[in-house]
A and B are shown apart, each in its own frame.
Chain A
Amino acid sequence: MKTLTINGKSHSIEAQDDMPLLWAIRDIIGLTGTKYGCGVSQCGACSVLLDGQVIRSCSIPVTYAEGKEIVTIEGQSDTLNYLREAWVDGNVPQCGYCQSGQLIAATALLDSNANPTEEDINNAMSGNICRCGTYPRIKKAIYKAIELKNK
């Protein structure tokens, strides 16, 4: 039996030790907002926060996340909510599939860097692929969220 704390709620689950956190979240706990994209940390669709740090949950064994605070796209935080507002304002998503990971990656960025430069944004977000190509809008929305946050 393993215990995971996700979005402030505790979940006791049966999972093999080497199961990536992604599949424990999706298939066992049933939170499907976190997405599978590549399985090898190349696309960022599976991004979640682990004690505030962004990680690719497809490549982290579930045991590593025990005892840590996990935040997924279903969760809440001030930064995440500002980003959501900015995402809606900028009508960012197309298919929407990668956006969970994009929002989580942006949350980690703004939590660690209140006023990132364009280069900081590129560095923080280039691990997240959007096949629809919403990058210009994601970038604009990040600037907008900073504005909302600093107000």
Chain B
Amino acid sequence: MGAIQNMSRRNFVKVIGLASGGLVIGCQFVSDKNEIVRIDDGTTFTPNLFVQLKKDGTLILLASRSEMGQGVRTSLTSVIADEMDADWNFVTVAQATGDSKFGNQNTDGSRSIRTIFEPMRKMGATARAILISAAAKKWNIASSACKTENHYVINTTSNEKLFYGDLVTDAMKIEVPTEVSLKEKKDFNYIGKQLKSVDLTDFTHGTAVYGIDARLPNMKFAAIARCPSTFGTVKSVDKTATLEITGVEQVVELERVKRPFGMMGGVAVIASNTWAAFQGKNNLEIVWNKGSNGRYDSEKYMQKITNRVHNKAKVVPPTKGNITTAFKEASSVIEATYQMPHLAHAPMEVPNALAWVYDGKCEIWAPVQAPQATKTEVASYLGIDEEHITIHVTFLGGGFGRKSKPDFVVEAVALSKKMNVPVQVVWTREDDIQNAYYHTTSAQYLKGALDKNGTVTGWLHRTAFPSIVSTFKPMSDYGAGFEFGQGFNNNQFDIEHMRFENAKAEAHVRIGWLRSVCHIYHSFGINSFVDELAAKAGKDPLQFNLDLIGKDKIRKEKSPFPLNTKRLKNVLKTAAKKANWGKKLPEGHGIGLAVHYSFYTYVASIVEVSVKNNKLKVQQIHTAVDCGMVVNKDTVTNQLEGAAIFGMSVALHGKITAKDGAIEQSNFHDYQMTRMSETPNIDVTIIESDEAPTGIGEPGVPPIAPAIANAIFNATGKRYRTFPLSEHGLV
């Protein structure tokens, strides 16, 4: 056992740490007595490893990213299993608790596969190399005379076989290799194939445990009334009616924690079941101090930021050429304004957390996208070291960015501390819609110049949106670089004169990231405006887009994955071919396209709609994606299908409004989602690629809404520049 302990730490840091920025992780072998091999100094129990092999062959692989529907528990572990030549039937997946030992577990930004594909491959390859060494030693042959296949090491000379499980004891004595070789693409068993989710049995029998399903003996249930206007406070509370409700035990006031992910504060009702807590909350008579956001009126606010983008604003680099000259010399100039409202994430599982604070420790069961950020938040609240906090990451019933922000966990922790029992906080759907970290609202103004050939010579783009930074740093009234980088000042076009401007936009609600983030509105503005320019120039939108993207080139930029215009044009051409672009359409039908590069992935969508009696029906969506090497084809397809539905919700229904500081929507009747009856045929084409893998959770969303708007224009000649379409009577 000694050898692996001493060598593993050093070597794993070397093998894996370098590739992934300091991961201290490795493979661990467990005897049938469940005796854990310790990997550091041999005195502490450190279950910080991704691979555990048991004598019966059971292979426990750890998923370090949260599962919220993107299939990450399957994709990440299949990468380890593939390099290990493991038999998938022996694999079970365990979920990593939020601990720095597992590396960064933050699950957002469509980056799990992009950032830890290589480290996970090395993890599997290292385990395989150790098993080979163990077998070679047993046979007294060179490792090079061995190969592996489906959970066995094979002696290539004698054709003898050794089962992985039978090598556990010997493998513990093998030093960790300093170098391992990775498979060639042609040898992959799982990567690039269509493995099904490892969790299907649980998903289809109701046995998958989400945060809201976590149970502990003697636990209490809590619901919290929060001020309708952001950061308002409790002036007075009458709890008489609440305390009369059967099951309600106590009413507790909570102070706001002034941190980005701190809780909002309010009045909590502690009860013996969720229903009593909900009812208790609804029966509270609270008078609120509405605070500085108490007059927020999102309609008036939209007018304000729209006026601002109609005037000169703060210049954002890069400026190219001289936009004034471009407009002066143009043979025609067009301009347009695009508006989008706030959105709420509305994951099907509402925010919730079960916390138990005891003996200076804290244990949490919660559906969190960022277990480590959660730990930091809880440590800060309790004033204890992070080592005393354990985060059990449950399944997430959807995340979409909402569950990156653990304010709901802090609430549960605060109440458990006050009550000295485990407490589960459950948000009602109304709470979820009315106290979210909203996707920002936005106004954009675009002005373009065309020469006599219909070539775009000038591009002015102004954007205004309350920034996500405002959640972290109050009074941040302008957009940040990372927000501009999401499809605004880095668009794919090579136009002679370009200018970007950002207008002021103060935040009056908590602004957060929602699946695809700023790409949603920037893609809407850009793809709509290019379609308008094509119409003005009298050109086919497909060819117009391809011309505007220009010749094949890899953009010079500080990025591990610089924009490759060839790949961008290829997804557009592929989608167009699948959609049979140019075909004759039935009466009342129209077709539209959008292409967008986000999270280093290239996506184009072509949408066919029909508009009859002013009623819209999305008929067909063809999406083509290039996300580099694909780990799991079916997961990619599923994500793109889901992104199309998500994008339809944005385009057709999504609207959160505020009046007198309070959100006007409350549940799915007034904050509608796409439903099955609205679902079109969705066809997804994945481009074969050997490039490094990039994100897939988000990139499918941005092209959908503008492609729908462009298709409606194609069908009716009417241009919709304000979403959602339900506001125009189309839905």
A residues whose Cβ falls under 8 Å from a Cβ of B: 16, 19-20, 22-23, 26-28, 30-40, 42-43, 45, 72-74, 84, 87-88, 91, 93-100, 103, 121-123, 125-139
Contact = CB atoms under 8 A, between A and B. Distances in A.
A97 B397 contact: yes
Contact of B397 (A19, A31, A35, A139): A35
Query: Which of B68, B209, B638, B681 counts the most chain A CB atoms within 10 A?
Result: B638
Given A133-B645, A139-B676, A97 B210 contact: yes
B429 interface: yes
Interface string B392-418: 000111111000000000000000000
B215 interface: yes
B204 A38 contact: no
Contacts of A135: 645, 674-676, 679
B274 A36 contact: yes
B612 interface: no
Given A94-B638, A96-B199, A97-B210, 4 more contacts: A35-B348, A37-B349, A123-B677, A129-B668
Given A93-B203, A96-B69, A103-B204, A131 B273 contact: no
Nearest to A121: B676
A126 B201 CA distance: 24
Contacts of A74: 205-207
A75 to B, nearest CB: 9
B682 interface: yes
B273 A28 contact: yes
B393 to A, nearest CB: 14
19 contacts: A32-B206, A32-B209, A32-B215, A36-B426, A37-B350, A39-B278, A39-B428, A88-B204, A93-B204, A95-B396, A97-B347, A98-B348, A123-B677, A132-B69, A133-B641, A133-B642, A135-B676, A136-B681, A139-B676
A26 B347 CA distance: 19
A131 B641 contact: no
Nearest to B204: A84
B472 to A, nearest CB: 26
Nearest to A122: B677
B646 interface: yes
A12 B331 CA distance: 81
Interface in B190-204: 194, 196-197, 199-204
Contacts of A136: 641, 679, 681-682
A91 B206 contact: no
B205 A23 contact: no
B679 A131 contact: no
B204 A40 contact: no
B275 interface: yes
B541 interface: no
Question: Chain B CB within 10 Å — which of A30, A40, A129, A135 has the most?
Answer: A135
A129 B673 contact: yes
Nearest to B666: A40
B638 A16 contact: no
Contacts of A84: 204-205
Interface in B255-280: 273-276, 278
Contact of B644 (A22, A88, A122, A133): A133
Contacts of B426: 36
A38 B668 contact: yes
A23 B275 contact: yes
A7 to B, nearest CB: 10
B52 interface: no
A96 B203 contact: yes
A141 to B, nearest CB: 10
List the 7 closest pairs (A to B, CB-CB), nearest first.
A33-B206, A133-B645, A97-B397, A94-B69, A95-B69, A73-B206, A133-B642
Given A23-B275, A38-B667, A39-B429, A137 B246 contact: no
B694 to A, nearest CB: 19
Contacts of A88: 196, 200-201, 204
A34 B397 CA distance: 13
Interface in B339-398: 346-350, 395-398
B70 interface: yes
A131 B676 contact: no
B212 interface: yes
Contact of B675 (A95, A96, A129, A132): A129
